[in-house]
Amino acid sequence: MDYLKGLNPEQKAAVLQIEGPVMIIAGAGSGKTRVITYRVAHLIRSGVDSFNILVLTFTNKAAKEMRERINHICGPEAKNIWMGTFHSVFAKLLRVEAEKIGYPNNFTIYDTDDSKSVIRAILKEMSLDDKLYNANFVYNRISAAKNNLVGWQEYQQNDQIQADDHSSGRGKLGVIYQTYAQRCFRAGAMDFDDLLFKTNELLKNHPDVLHKYQQKFKYLMVDEYQDTNFSQYLIVKRLAAVRENICVVGDDAQSIYAFRGANIQNILNFEKDYPDLKVFKLEQNYRSTQNIVNVANSIIANNKDQLKKNVFSEKETGDKIKVMRAFSDNEEGKMVAEAIMQDRSNYSMKWHDFAILYRTNAQSRSMEEALRKLNIPYKIYGGLSFYQRKEIKDLIAYFRLTFNPNDEEALKRVINYPKRGIGDTTVDRVIVAADKHQLTPFEIILQANRYVEKAPASLVNFATMIQSFQVITKNQSAYEAALHIAQHSGLLKDLYEDKSVEGLNRYENIQELLNGIKEFSEREDIEEKGLDIFMQDVALLTNDDNDKNPNADTVSLMTIHSSKGLEFPQVYVVGLEENLFPSQMSLNSRSDLEEERRLFYVAVTRAERKLSISYATSRFKFGTLINCEPSRFLDEIDAKFLDLEKSAKPATSSFFDDERTAWSRKADSKPDTFSRPKVATAPSAAKTTSILAKAHVPSPGFKPSDTSNLQVGMQVEHERFGFGKVISLEGNKPDIKATIFFKDIGQKQLLLKFAKLSIVNGNE
């Protein structure tokens, strides 16, 4: 029981309560991963068979970390737990039970690109207007339907859905959905949404299967329960229906994925499903300083729909939250970059100690430009992952086709790559013949001389090659099979012969993939090591599992959505402006606005030691200079936790009373009244001039001076802050800091090597 000693009383109580329905409300930084881990370990130590435990997470990374921790406590028993993401766990279940719903056990899992490719082909065949029937829109529509357990039959029979589609001029959506579903079925493929949709179908229509897994999964735990959608909710409810030994862990204040179908009501109304529920609240934040926690609490207190809790920190009080005001988005980037440079130098920090978080990806441009100018290394997260690169997807398509020759998308991707004399016309003839004779394209190719007019010999040779790969995979290890396919498909040779820089990079990427497969095939912690299992793991990677190397010494740039689950010593949250954060789209309903506020709460709680917030008073949008107003969220923060420089005072005095009461709500304002404009409009020429007039205009011929001999009392000019007097100097070369009182904005502390000051005259 040594593992219980490091828990606080509430954490320990949650771990020890192993019977019946349990809800653990885990505030930000409250150690929920430790609680989940120890609770599972305690179940095993209490005599529960590890084979009877199901743990559902939202990233493979989280599942891996938990399993490793449980292994330290319980040893090899950790391997037997069914643990992973919803998609990975139920993909595993479907591999066993797929034939009951008409699918092969070796079904392919389509990623988003595969799904959209199928949809584009359908739209082209139906000759539909791509302005009305954009592939992205259609894919999202079908995805939303599946997440709400609406199949194509129900979609076509629902009068309200049909009325909405016809009124928008998209009356063919039901037919597209049907064709898409049938084409995936013919290809023996499921998309990501199908993994949950088909699991629900299986459990609903096959009581024997439901009973089997209800008996198997005697104890269920679900992490990040606030992010579950209707489909996930129903699977969990069905599996837990007999014993009700279910424990959900989450934080309603961090529910930020409504756009993916997540339903916050799942956690808010959990007690209605389980009246005997026991609730534990983890309220001590071990991550952030007291000031940061206090700011987060003051923000989220404005939401009506929430489970009340009192998050606190026993760490040091910490710095107040610095608020920076810039005249433009470019200046905002410059201010953030300079602040990072100074703090790194002053406190001997690493670049990876800093993160810049923003509401939309487009905001990264001004940040990137500013960081590059100061030669600050950075990395943007959420970009193209390794497994989305073309050459990687090409080789994996060969793997997919080897295990599932009916996979039409994989076939179309590689049938003529590398080039083997099978043109688009021939491929079209194969597809048409497949539709006509109700066969798969691969079945047509196997009998090409019978079904395809003017079939080239290379068509049959291609099919023979794929069949030879099937034999290889049965007799060789994952790595040996992968290497054989890469070589004999011609892909490796094609990339090797491309001597350009891009070609070399692509060849090295393939080598890296093969290295990864070799490492996978030599792992001792897994029993199944076939190439097909490796492919399944790759297909089920979540965005949060990709491309996040905590050891890379770079400043991290990412959207706030991407930052969930991460933490950094210093965090800069940028772009706190109306119509940007909160976004313009969120101002039409309270629920949308509250989700934006939860997103701000998530951003704030990523910071461990220091948090800075910034906004710009003007920003270019579609080529037009827009007058920006500070975000209403700033108004909700208690001013006593903020560090408000004069430079942070906005141009519009009506928004703040004065510096001491900045961002405090006016006495006569109503908290439920949102009076801010919903649409940002381009300011008139007069307004634009008044904004820019606040900025100092450098003197003619302004040029930074050599400040190595700067002394207290000297008069200086700064290109942005204006004229000022040196009050004090501290530190040693080359990191001397000057405290300067500027006439227009007050006192500031600057690092001389970056300040670019012009000395006006000597001591008075």
For the chain, list the domains and their CATH numbers. 9-100+197-282 (3.40.50.300), 108-187 (1.10.10), 312-385+545-644 (3.40.50.300), 395-528 (1.10.486.10), 694-763 (2.30.30.390)
Structure confidence by residue, pLDDT tens digits, 30-48: 998 899 999 999 999 999 9
Mean pLDDT of the chain: 85
Q: Could you tell me the pLDDT band of residue 660, with boundaries at 50, 70 and 90?
A: very low
**In angstroms, rounded to a whole number, what is the distance separating the alpha carbons of residues 341 and 376?**
8
Residue 666 has pLDDT above 70, yes or no: no
Active site residue 342: no
The catalytic residue among 325, 606, 619, 632 is: 606
Active site residue 232: no
Residue 685 has pLDDT above 50, yes or no: no
User: Annotation-wise, does 28 bind a ligand?
Assistant: yes
Residue 105 has pLDDT above 50, yes or no: yes
pLDDT at 762: 67
User: Annotation-wise, does 304 bind a ligand?
Assistant: no
State percent of the chain over pLDDT 90. Answer: 51
Residue 668 has pLDDT above 70, yes or no: no
Structure confidence by residue, pLDDT tens digits, 159-195: 999 998 898 889 999 999 999 999 999 999 999 999 9
Residue 602 has pLDDT above 90, yes or no: yes
Mean pLDDT calculated for residue range 118-140: 89
Which of 21-35, 367-381, 673-687, 742-756 is predicted with the least confidence, judged by mean pLDDT? 673-687
Tokens found for residue 104: 């092969």
Sign of CA dihedral 56, 60, 66, 71: positive
Structure confidence by residue, pLDDT tens digits, 467-519: 999 999 988 889 899 999 999 999 999 888 887 767 777 888 888 888 888 87
Query: Bigger pLDDT: 372 or 555?
Result: 555
Q: Could you tell me which of 481, 483, 461 has the C-alpha nearest to residue 416?
A: 461
The catalytic residue among 254, 402, 617, 707 is: 254
| Greatest alpha-carbon span in the chain | 100
34, 370, 649 from 339: Cα distances, Å:
34, 11, 18
User: Annotation-wise, does 30 bind a ligand?
Assistant: yes
Q: Could you tell me the pLDDT band of residue 93, with boundaries at 50, 70 and 90?
A: very high
Active site residue 544: no
Which of 234-243, 264-273, 446-455, 679-688 is predicted with the least confidence, judged by mean pLDDT? 679-688
User: Annotation-wise, does 542 bind a ligand?
Assistant: no
Q: Could you tell me which of 719, 745, 760 has the C-alpha nearest to residue 338?
A: 719
pTM value > 0.75: no
Tokens found for residue 706: 């050599």
| Residue keyed to tokens 């009124």 | 167
User: Annotation-wise, does 379 bind a ligand?
Assistant: no
**In angstroms, rounded to a whole number, what is the distance separating the alpha carbons of residues 159 and 25?**
40
Mean pLDDT calculated for residue range 308-322: 91
Active site residue 154: no
Q: Could you tell me the pLDDT band of residue 568, with boundaries at 50, 70 and 90?
A: very high
Residue 548 has pLDDT above 60, yes or no: no
Q: Could you tell me the pLDDT band of residue 122, with boundaries at 50, 70 and 90?
A: very high
Residue 688 has pLDDT above 60, yes or no: no
Residue 665 has pLDDT above 70, yes or no: no
pLDDT at 678: 33
Q: Could you tell me the pLDDT band of residue 2, with boundaries at 50, 70 and 90?
A: confident
User: Annotation-wise, does 33 bind a ligand?
Assistant: yes
Q: Is 494 exposed, middle or buried (0-12, 13-18, 19+ CB in 10 A)?
A: middle
Active site residue 499: no
pLDDT at 624: 64
| Residue keyed to tokens 């290889």 | 472
Q: Which helix (H) or strand (E) holds 239?
A: helix 230-239
The catalytic residue among 10, 17, 33, 554 is: 33
Active site residue 33: yes
pLDDT at 682: 33
pLDDT at 623: 54
Mean pLDDT calculated for residue range 558-581: 93
Q: Could you tell me the pLDDT band of residue 197, with boundaries at 50, 70 and 90?
A: very high
pLDDT at 667: 29
Up-side HSE of residue 145: CA atoms within 13 Å toward CB? 23
**In angstroms, rounded to a whole number, what is the distance separating the alpha carbons of residues 661 and 649?**
11
Instruction: Tell how strand 715-718 and strand 757-761 pair up.
Output: antiparallel
SS3 readout for 61-110? HHHHHHHHHHHHHHHHHHHHCEEEEHHHHHHHHHHHHHHHHCCCCCCEEE
Mean pLDDT calculated for residue range 443-449: 89
pLDDT at 764: 47
pLDDT at 699: 79
Q: Is 212 exposed, middle or buried (0-12, 13-18, 19+ CB in 10 A)?
A: middle
**In angstroms, rounded to a whole number, what is the distance separating the alpha carbons of residues 110 and 116?**
10
Q: What is the CB neighbour count within 10 angstroms for residue 159?
A: 7
Q: Could you tell me the pLDDT band of residue 544, with boundaries at 50, 70 and 90?
A: low
The catalytic residue among 224, 329, 408, 577 is: 224
DSSP-assigned letter for residue 630: B
Structure confidence by residue, pLDDT tens digits, 253-291: 999 888 888 889 999 999 999 999 999 999 999 999 999
Structure confidence by residue, pLDDT tens digits, 406-438: 999 999 999 999 999 898 889 888 988 988 888
